């Protein structure tokens, strides 16, 4: 039930290309994957930093959630993802503690992993994601 590590930190950016340059040239990380997640209306770029990843999120749609986030709050940290063994169980546990869920059930996120979100209104302002190691059914 307890998260094992920070799986990734999601960062909303206006331009994937521009921000990849910063992570590669200034921080010396290398982007190992770029993936479009149609459900979420985003293109994502991934970097590894130890056990944790940086996930850059660029909107593919002016009405998508990342576009709306940037419009309201500017680019920056968007969400924090905890690695858990069982996403469904972690969601149920959070709901049992009165936390509002964005996802009642796990769904497929980037890299084919099971994910589920908790609402930031219930998590002290941090959009929180559970990220499993299993593919959804």
Tell me the window of 4-12, 16-24, 91-99, 116-124 that interacts with Zn ion (CB under 5 A). 4-12
Q: Does 81 bind Zn ion (CB under 5 A)?
A: yes
Tell me the window of 7-15, 43-51, 68-76, 93-101 that interacts with Zn ion (CB under 5 A). 7-15
Q: Residue number with the shortest CB distance to Zn ion?
A: 10
Q: Does 10 bind Zn ion (CB under 5 A)?
A: yes
Q: Does 54 bind Zn ion (CB under 5 A)?
A: no
Tell me the window of 16-24, 30-38, 90-98, 122-130 that interacts with Zn ion (CB under 5 A). 122-130
- Write 28-36 long-range contacts (CB < 8 A, 24+): 29/54, 33/111, 35/110, 35/111, 36/60
Residue 16 CB, nearest approach to Zn ion (Å): 15
CA terminus-to-terminus distance, the chain: 20
Q: Does 106 bind Zn ion (CB under 5 A)?
A: no
- Residues forming the site for Zn ion (CB under 5 A): 10, 81, 129
């Amino acid at each position: 039930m307890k998260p094992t590590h920070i799986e990734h930190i999601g960062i909303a950016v206006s331009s994937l290309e521009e921000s990849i340059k910063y992570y590669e040239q200034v921080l010396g990380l290398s982007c190992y994957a770029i993936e479009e997640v149609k459900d979420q209306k985003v293109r994502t770029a991934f970097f590894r930093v130890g056990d944790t990843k940086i996930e850059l999120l660029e909107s593919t749609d002016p009405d998508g959630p990342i576009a709306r986030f940037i419009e309201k709050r500017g680019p920056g940290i968007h969400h924090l993802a905890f690695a858990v063994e069982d996403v469904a169980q972690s969601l149920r546990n959070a709901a049992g503690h009165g936390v509002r869920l964005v996802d009642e059930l796990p769904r497929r996120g980037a890299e084919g992993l099971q994910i589920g979100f908790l609402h930031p209104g219930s998590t002290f302002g941090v959009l929180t994601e559970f990220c499993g190691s299993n593919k959804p059914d």
